[in-house]
A and B are shown apart, each in its own frame.
Chain A
Amino acid sequence: MSEKTVLLQDTTAGSTTGTSDFFGVFKAALRESDLADNVRLVRVADMGVYNQGVVMTILPENITYANVEAHDIKRIIGVTLKHGNPVKDLLYQPKFRQMRLVLKNCGRLDPGSIDDYIAADGYRALLKAVEQKTPDEVIAELKASGLRGRGGGGYSTGLKWQFTREAAGELKYVICNADEGDPGAYMDRSVLEGNPHSVIEGMLLAGYAIGSSQGFFYIRAEYPLAIERVQKALDQARERGLLGNHILGSDFSMDIEIRLGAGAFVCGEETALIASIEGKRGTPVPRPPYPSVRGLWGMPTCINNVETLANVAPILLHGADWFAGIGTQTSKGTKVFALTGKVRNSGLVEVPMGTTLREIVFDIGGGIASGRAFKAVQTGGPSGGVIPEKYLDTPVDYDNLQKLGSIMGSGGMIVMDECDCMVDIAKFYIKFCVDESCGKCAPCRIGGYQILNILEGITQGRGTLQDLDRLILIARAMKMGSLCGLGQTAANPVISTLAYFEDEYREHIVNRRCPARKCRALLEFNIIRHLCKKCGLCARACPEKAITGDREHGYSIDTEKCIHCGVCFDVCKFSAVERI
């Protein structure tokens, strides 16, 4: 019989069943069956399957079992290890899986090697397009695929291309928007770093479709590695004649250059981005005219986000029908999310549209790292909103998230647990928008500042119930009156936290209490006598000398002097300082 490998989920990553024992039991069983030399039993760090008891994968058959009990070992040895057949009732049958489309080759191939990309069928879509398809056919294919912009707007990519193609202009431009700026979102960075050619191919296809000969990567300067890799990829592509004149022997000619963003979030907004490339102050201008009609230097311009462009080549290679078969009615394909926050496995996940939030957070993300209770998940970055537990089974697509008061956005997904204060979260995001507002239009410039001020007040115990009315009033004015997406959506975190967690706001205002114990100004600190070991560390650490006492009699906190900084709580090694 041939050599087999059993990968077994370890206790630390698995369940409460205690796989360490299980490992020993399995090992003993193998010895008993005289298989110890033929079967490698390996305890893995992480199987990526959660809340399914003991999980194991048997290679080379690649059979995965879940919820395996000790009494199943015999059958596994007999049926699978000896004969290579599956034990059907133990098979792990996931409801869904991550599906890698955009990230497929990220982490697989060398981003510095164009040959690696070509070997993974890279640039074949471009070859197919220039040899077999007219630009209109390329656009038709894209429209039929149902691909929508992954940068946040969710506009049909095919339609955008069509408008740019139809617009009159002696020159046309393609811009890749790589000014990824949402806090906690870094999908685009990973794609640019891991598979830059896939984005370049998407841009070339866009250029071919709309009739452009010049493209620009607008990459934020905070992504030096991405810039380096994209530059190298562009150089390689140029060397191979994939950029320049007569690409792949066709009549299509195009080149692409990099432009760096200088650190303004608002430059992710397309009109501000264009202004920035033109060398102007990066502030949005009114639309219409849309960039597809009047964009860079007044010419029709097609701006697509990194992830959108990375979708293009696979669509053209495998067909619109294939792509349209993935996802939901209104949202096709997959979406990459940057899963961060209190989740166990923070990282990038790519799932078909329509996967539920619960699946993403719990099944893929492994749930809350600390084991505390889940509170909410924030999607869409500063333009998005929080989604509470009761909506976790919502299938994720553009429209569903909007109905919940959030948005798909670029794909940031921040998981929060019961220690996260929703007023504080709203404050965090509005602070971000206040810092990043360009200052051009009044609702965003002043409205954001006023909201921040009100939220500061609430978290510091100065809030009034009228503040809630004011928040709603300003939030609505910002939504309705702001010029660009940043301002129109900046208040979303406030609106959604208020909608789902109004009680928490009221608790701060009425009872001067922060239920998540996050807002330090609202906390009282107290030393629990029976836990105190009288070490005096807290007293030495207190910046205000508000802790008095000695090593004989113990210590206490003078609440008059206390500035609620929380240092005592942080330094105490015996959990003797409590926050009330």
Chain B
Amino acid sequence: MAALTGNDFDAIKAKVQGGAKNWIKVGMSTCGIAAGAGKTYRVLEDELSKQGHPVSLLTCGCLGMCYAEPLVEVCIEGLPRVVYCRVSEECAREIVRGHVMGRKLLQDYILAMHYEEAFS
């Protein structure tokens, strides 16, 4: 791959931001994996393929809410972007069936976060 130069930065940014509109992110750091995020990820993968919905399944690091792992962030066009916590196998399936396919936010699983970003 060619060495990066200053000119490439904007193009990469545009490419990434223009990427998938519908996605699910699973926190896969040590804390998440210890709480079962690996299983959660596999279940999501399985359920998504069963349902055939074109959603990108992504991984990310630790959000800091280690007490609430596994954490799954869901972004579906037209619905608020939310983070689900303590996502069990059943919950993972419900995320695909209820949230992705049924376009309904799940009750009792959302973790709201209150923090300010130091810079944007």
> Which residues on A are within 8 Å of B, measured CB to CB?
5, 7, 10, 40, 42-49, 57, 59-60, 64, 94, 97-101, 103-104, 106-112, 115-116, 118-119, 121, 123-124, 127, 131, 186, 189-190, 193-195, 223, 225-226, 239-242, 244, 246, 248-249, 314, 317-318, 322, 326, 334, 344-350
Contact = CB atoms under 8 A, between A and B. Distances in A.
Contact of A44 (B9, B66, B67, B111): B111
Interface in B42-100: 58-68, 71, 80, 84-86
A interface SS class: mixed
Contacts of A242: 4
A318 B71 contact: no
B4 A42 contact: no
Given A100-B117, A195-B61, A348-B66, A47 B30 contact: no
Given A42-B105, A42-B110, A99 B13 contact: no
A322 B29 contact: no
Contact of B118 (A7, A46, A124, A334): A334
23 contacts: A45-B108, A46-B112, A47-B112, A57-B112, A97-B115, A98-B114, A100-B116, A100-B118, A106-B63, A107-B27, A111-B60, A119-B12, A119-B16, A190-B30, A190-B64, A225-B29, A242-B4, A318-B119, A345-B65, A346-B67, A347-B31, A347-B66, A348-B62
Contacts of A248: 3-6
Nearest to B84: A45
A98 B115 contact: yes
Contacts of B3: 240-241, 244, 246, 248-249
Interface centre among B1, B4, B16, B108, by most chain A C-beta atoms within 10 angstroms, is B4
Interface of B: 1-6, 9, 12-13, 15-17, 27, 29-31, 33, 58-68, 71, 80, 84-86, 104-119
B66 to A, nearest CB: 4
A43 B107 contact: yes
Interface centre among A49, A115, A193, A334, by most chain B C-beta atoms within 10 angstroms, is A193
Interface centre among A46, A109, A334, by most chain B C-beta atoms within 10 angstroms, is A46
Contacts of A225: 29-30, 33
A514 B62 CA distance: 39
Interface centre among A104, A112, A190, A249, by most chain B C-beta atoms within 10 angstroms, is A190
A348 to B, nearest CB: 4
B112 to A, nearest CB: 5
A219 to B, nearest CB: 13
Nearest to A64: B114
B106 to A, nearest CB: 8
B64 A5 contact: no
B17 A119 contact: yes
A190 B64 CA distance: 8
Contacts of A322: 119
Nearest to A40: B105
B6 to A, nearest CB: 5
7 tightest A-B CB contacts, nearest first: A194-B61, A241-B3, A107-B63, A119-B16, A98-B115, A101-B118, A348-B64
B107 A46 contact: no
Contacts of B16: 115-116, 118-119
A60 B12 CA distance: 29
